[in-house]
Structure 1
Amino acid sequence: MDLNGWFQKGMTVDEYINAMNRNKEEMLSIYEQFALKEDDRSKLAALKSKGLRVIVLSEDWCGDALLNNPVLLRVAEAADIEVRFLLRDQNLELMDQYLTNGTSRAIPIFVFIDQEGNEAGVWGPRAPKIQALVEKERATLPDKDAEDFQEKQMALYKGLAKRYQTEPEIWQTVADSIISTLLK
């Protein structure tokens, strides 16, 4: 299937949100609180004439999707980018074309396409600065063989999820990274 076909197969924003079973309130909370800076809105307005669209490979249980998807929605609104969601686990044929480090089905992945269905840019699963934050936090974990590894890893992910939901600087970091991809 070509990218236009994948886009057509995707769920609209409302369909995706209505189908969410996990992290719905958290994602919507970020969406409601986050606003683009005027400078960013101006940069994105210049993209309106391009007629870009975006395929979002995602799952509602994903903590990175909880953070990145609402920021993308604000960016898409400012640039008149139509958004369609595909669930990763039901669309592995497409997902496997966008593996992180060639091996990982990390999400979300944003595939920006033009009206002809040509790839115009790919973003995800994290902004580089957020990836660095996650790696720094992971470095504090004990060995995977340690008795308390699982417990400490879960606590780390809960802490990151809380920060994702409450720190506007993190939202802006994600927006900056997505906008940078779009303006390349």
Structure 2
Amino acid sequence: MELLDWFNKGLTTEEYTAGMKVNKEEMNKIYSEYSLSNEEKEKIQVIKNKGLKVIVISEDWCGDAMLNNPILLNLADEAGIEVRFILRDQNLELIDQYLTNGTSRSIPIFIFIDQNGKEKAVWGPRAEMLQELVTSERSKLPDQESPDFKDKQMEMYMQLRQRYQQEEELWHTVAGSILAVLSKIE
């Protein structure tokens, strides 16, 4: 399938949100509480009204999607970008074209296309600074063979999840990362 076919097959934001069973409240909270800074509004002018569309490969259970999707949706609202969601687990054929580090089906992945379906940019699954944060937190975990590894890992994920929901600085970090990719679109 071509990217435009994937876009047309995708769920609207309303359909995706209606089908969410996990992280719906948290995603909606971030969406409603995040607002673009003046600098972000300025940067988005470059791609505003370019007729871009974005395919979001996602799943509702993903903590990174909980954070990144509502930021993207706010940027898309401001820039006039049409958004469609493709569920990763039901569409491995698509995600397998966008593996992280060539091996991982990490999400979300944002595929920006033009009106003809030509890929213009890809972003995801995390802003670089967020990746550094996650890597740093993982480095503090005990060895995987340790009896308390699973508990400590779960505790780490819960703490990150709380930060994702509360720290506006992280929201603007994500927005800046997405905008840096979008600014390169000609």
TM-score class, shorter: over 0.9
Q: Superposition pairs for residues 14-29 of structure 1, below 5 Å? A: 14-29=14-29
Report the secondary structure of 1:48's partner residue. Answer: coil
Q: Superposition RMSD on alpha carbons, in Å? A: 0.6
1:30 aligns with 2:30: yes
Separation in 2, partners of 1:78, 1:179: 12
Deviation string for 1:16-73 (max 9, x for gaps)? Answer: 0000000000000001110001221122133123100000000000000000000000
Separation in 1, partners of 2:66, 2:20: 11
Separation in 1, partners of 2:151, 2:46: 47
* 1:101 alignment partner in structure 2: 101
Separation in 2, partners of 1:148, 1:52: 47
Deviation string for 1:102-152 (max 9, x for gaps)? Answer: 000000000000011110100000000000000000000001000000000
The normalised TM-score by structure 1 is 0.99
Corresponding letter in the other structure for 1:182: L
Separation in 1, partners of 2:10, 2:38: 30
* 2:153 alignment partner in structure 1: 153
1:118 aligns with 2:118: yes
* 1:143 alignment partner in structure 2: 143
Deviation string for 1:147-173 (max 9, x for gaps)? Answer: 000000000000000000000000000
Contact in 1 for aligned 2:46/2:183 (Cα 8 Å): no
1:76 aligns with 2:76: yes
Misfit runs of 4+, over 6 Å? none
Report the secondary structure of 1:49's partner residue. Answer: coil
Corresponding letter in the other structure for 1:51: G
* 1:163 alignment partner in structure 2: 163
Corresponding letter in the other structure for 1:137: E
The percentage of aligned residue pairs carrying the same residue is 59
Equivalenced residues, count: 184
Structure 1 spans left out of the alignment, 5+ residues: none
Corresponding letter in the other structure for 1:6: W
Separation in 2, partners of 1:39, 1:137: 30
Corresponding letter in the other structure for 1:62: C
Corresponding letter in the other structure for 1:146: S
* 2:55 alignment partner in structure 1: 55
Corresponding letter in the other structure for 1:63: G
Separation in 2, partners of 1:180, 1:120: 13
Corresponding letter in the other structure for 1:108: P
Corresponding letter in the other structure for 1:105: R
The normalised TM-score by structure 2 is 0.98
Report the secondary structure of 1:50's partner residue. Answer: coil
